[in-house]
Amino acid sequence: MKRRTFNALSLAALVTPSLCVAQSFPTKPVKFIVPYAAGGLPDSVARIVANKLTEKLGQSVVIDNKPGGNGMVAYQALISGVNDNHSFIVSDGSMFSITPLINKSANYSIGRDLLPVSMIAKSPLFLVANPKTGIKTLKEFVEKVRANPGMYTYGSSGIGSSHHLTMESLKADLKLDIRHVPFRGSGQSVPALIGGQIDFLFSALPSMLGFLKAGQVTLLGSNDHKRSTQVPDVPSISEVVSGFDFAVTIGAIARAGTPTDVIKKLSDDIAWTVKQSDVVEKLNAASIDASGLGPDGYKKEIERENLAMAKAGKAADLKAE
């Protein structure tokens, strides 16, 4: 009897600390560190989710914008801050897939330095054309560009951006020759497309809706693996290139050493949050699809995206500096 009692107490000693962590989290406001200025896609997702997540957690969820270094400033803020298990990065996948391709000092990795918590959402970019090209479908895009190597141009938000690497991957897969014109963000590239300085562009749908209604752009396809529910008549590029998937992912990341129970609780609560009708409505209004993938699923998504971007980076001849 004494041995059974001792064993039971020993087991309780092992289990209780873990349970206490899960039951006590969060004990104070949760911080979402966003590697971009306010107004961008990850920031918008973080704010939409934070409002509802606050209700679920019983603690405030605050947004801390730390732009700079393609995610490096946010990473340093996370690892140099107090390790209280209440701070997380909310970023798009480029911080893990693109930044290491262009920044030698970005030597962090998922699983060693950072831990996946939840893939919160996913948002496609759309291939759009200036009407002067006369191209109205994805099929015509492939045929005309292939028949006229070097004649057409496309813009991007800058070298190494998701917009740039999506097109470079498409060029490599379909053997297309389109000249790249990099800009400093969508604030420059979108007006260039509307003004006819460039022929094509990958862009988020909200940036195009007004121009689409005015007949100033033509939607050709999305870079997600499936058609968007927002514009179901527009094909996915994966219908032309099997497995093509460069849609922007946004997720929550923890620093290494964060207890598994904390990660699970936050992941579960995010999954609940992004299923709420008011959150789904706000996300969809910005052409964002809710996800809520847990740590394992999100890790696989990060690994898939890293491989795809590495291939695109090679095609674009990106060099780390």
Question: What does the pLDDT profile of the chain (321 residues) look like in tens digits?
Answer: 445 544 544 444 454 444 445 568 999 999 999 999 898 899 999 999 999 999 999 999 999 999 998 899 999 999 998 889 999 999 999 999 999 999 988 989 999 999 999 999 999 999 999 999 999 999 999 999 999 999 999 999 999 999 999 999 999 999 999 999 999 888 899 999 999 999 999 999 988 989 999 999 999 999 999 999 889 999 999 999 999 999 999 999 999 999 999 999 999 999 999 999 999 999 999 889 999 999 999 999 999 999 999 999 999 998 888
Angle value at C-alpha 28, between 18 and 23, nearest 5 degrees: 25
Query: Do the domains 125-239 and 29-123+247-314 match in fold?
Result: yes
179-182 and 153-156 as β-strands: parallel, antiparallel, unpaired?
parallel
Give, as one character, the DSSP assignment of residue 225.
Answer: S
Q: What's the confidence (pLDDT) of residue 6?
A: 45
Domain boundaries in the chain?
Answer: 29-123+247-314, 125-239
CATH of domain 125-239: 3.40.190.10
Q: Where are the beta strands (DSSP E) in 75-113?
A: 87-92
| Token output for 187 | 């604030």
Q: What's the confidence (pLDDT) of residue 22?
A: 52
Q: Of 175, 168, 201, which is closest to residue 187 (Cα–Cα)?
A: 201
Q: Of 54, 200, 57, 204, which is closest to residue 135 (Cα–Cα)?
A: 200
Amino acid at 100: P
List the end-to-end C-alpha distance of the chain, in Å, as a whole number. 67
Q: What's the confidence (pLDDT) of residue 19?
A: 46
Q: What's the confidence (pLDDT) of residue 7?
A: 52
Considering the entire predicted model, what is its pTM?
0.86
Q: Of 165, 172, 311, which is closest to residue 248 (Cα–Cα)?
A: 165
Residue for token pair 């004649």:
151
Contacts of residue 235, Cβ cutoff 8 Å, sequence gap at least 6: 138, 221, 222, 227
Domain 29-123+247-314 matching CATH 3.40.190.150: the answer reads yes
Q: Of 162, 70, 83, which is closest to residue 115 (Cα–Cα)?
A: 83
